[in-house]
Amino acid sequence: MSETYQEFLRRKEQEGSESGFAPTWMPDELFDFQKVCVEWAIQKGRGALFEDCGLGKTAQQLVWAENVARHTGGKVLVLTPLAVSFQTVQEGAKFGVECVQRRDNLHSSDRVVVTNYERLHHFDPTDFDGVVCDESSILKNFDGSTRAAVTDFMRKIPYRLLCTATAAPNDYIELGTSSEALGYIGAQDVINRFFKKAKNTTSAHHERMSGVFALRPHATEAFWRWVCSWARAIRRPSDVGCEDGAFDLPALSANQHTVKASAPRDGYLFDVCAVGLQEQRADLRRTIGERCEKAAEIINGRTDPSIAWCNLNDEGDMMEAMIPGAVQVSGKDSDEKKEESFLGFAKGDIRVLVTKPSIGGFGLNFQHCAHQTYFPSHSYEQYYQCVRRSWRFGQTRPVTVDMITTDGQQDVLSNLQRKTNQAEDMFSELVAQMNNELSIQKKNEHTKGQVMPSWL
Residue spans of the domains in the chain: they are 11-184+229-246, 252-415
Q: Which of 335, 340, 372, 339 is nearest to 357 (CA)?
A: 372
DSSP β-ladder status, 252-259 and 159-164: unpaired
Please tell me the predicted confidence (pLDDT) of residue 274.
54
- Rounded to an integer, the average pLDDT of 174-198 is 86
Residue 248 CB neighbours (<10 A): 8
Say yes or no: do domains 11-184+229-246 and 252-415 share a fold: yes
Q: How far is CA 400 from CA 164, 384, 452, in A?
A: 24, 14, 44
Tell me the CATH architecture of domain 11-184+229-246: 3-Layer(aba) Sandwich (3.40)
Q: Which of 125-139, 144-158, 368-382, 425-439 has the lowest mean pLDDT?
A: 425-439
Has residue 37 got a pLDDT over 70?
yes
Residue type, position 253, single letter: S
Beta bridge partners of residue 197, listed in sequence order? 213
Please tell me the predicted confidence (pLDDT) of residue 122.
93
Has residue 199 got a pLDDT over 70?
no
Is domain 252-415 classified as CATH 3.40.228.10? Answer: no
Please tell me the predicted confidence (pLDDT) of residue 276.
55
Has residue 136 got a pLDDT over 90?
no
Give the model confidence (pLDDT) of 44-79 as tens digits.
Answer: 999 999 998 889 999 999 999 999 999 999 999 999
Instruction: Work out the angle at residue 138's Cα, subtended by the Cα atoms of residues 132 and 141, and round it to the nearest 5 degrees.
Output: 145
> For the chain, what is the mean pLDDT?
83
- Rounded to an integer, the average pLDDT of 229-244 is 88
Q: Which of 175-179, 186-190, 217-221, 266-270 has the lowest mean pLDDT?
A: 266-270
pLDDT band for position 17 (50/70/90)? very low
Would you state the torsion angle of the CA atoms of residues 43, 45, 51, 54, taken in this order, to the nearest 10 degrees? 90
This prediction has a pTM of 0.79
Q: Which of 49-58, 313-322, 436-445 has the lowest mean pLDDT?
A: 436-445
Has residue 174 got a pLDDT over 90?
no
Please tell me the predicted confidence (pLDDT) of residue 272.
53
Q: Which of 78-87, 94-103, 187-196, 242-251 has the highest mean pLDDT?
A: 94-103
pLDDT band for position 241 (50/70/90)? confident
For residue 307, the number of C-alpha atoms closer than 13 Å in the C-beta half-sphere is: 36
DSSP β-ladder status, 209-210 and 213-215: antiparallel
- Rounded to an integer, the average pLDDT of 435-447 is 55
Q: How far is CA 106 from CA 64, 128, 239, 403, in A?
A: 20, 11, 39, 44
DSSP β-ladder status, 231-234 and 306-309: unpaired
More confident residue, 192 or 429: 192
Exposed, middle or buried: residue 336 (CB in 10 Å: 0-12, 13-18, 19+)? exposed
Please tell me the predicted confidence (pLDDT) of residue 63.
97
Give the integer Cα–Cα distance in Å for 453 and 449. Answer: 13
Q: Which of 372, 438, 424 is nearest to 401 (CA)?
A: 372
**Residue 360 contacts residue 336 (beta carbons within 8 Å):** no
DSSP β-ladder status, 252-259 and 195-197: unpaired
Hey, which bits of 32-164 come out as E strands?
A: 46-51, 76-80, 99-101, 112-116, 130-134, 159-164
Instruction: Work out the angle at residue 135's Cα, subtended by the Cα atoms of residues 305 and 362, and round it to the nearest 5 degrees.
Output: 25
- Rounded to an integer, the average pLDDT of 424-440 is 71
Has residue 437 got a pLDDT over 90?
no
Q: Which of 119-123, 205-209, 276-280, 303-307 has the lowest mean pLDDT?
A: 205-209
- Rounded to an integer, the average pLDDT of 301-306 is 97
What are the two backbone dihedrals, phi and then psi, of residue 261, each rounded to the nearest 5 degrees? -70, 145
Has residue 451 got a pLDDT over 50?
no
- Rounded to an integer, the average pLDDT of 285-293 is 90
More confident residue, 14 or 311: 311
Please tell me the predicted confidence (pLDDT) of residue 280.
67
**Residue 319 contacts residue 326 (beta carbons within 8 Å):** yes
Q: Which of 8-12, 146-150, 201-205, 434-438 has the lowest mean pLDDT?
A: 201-205
- Rounded to an integer, the average pLDDT of 408-437 is 76
Q: Which of 6-10, 134-138, 213-217, 433-437 has the lowest mean pLDDT?
A: 6-10
pLDDT band for position 370 (50/70/90)? very high
Would you state the torsion angle of the CA atoms of residues 352, 354, 355, 356, taken in this order, to the nearest 10 degrees? 110
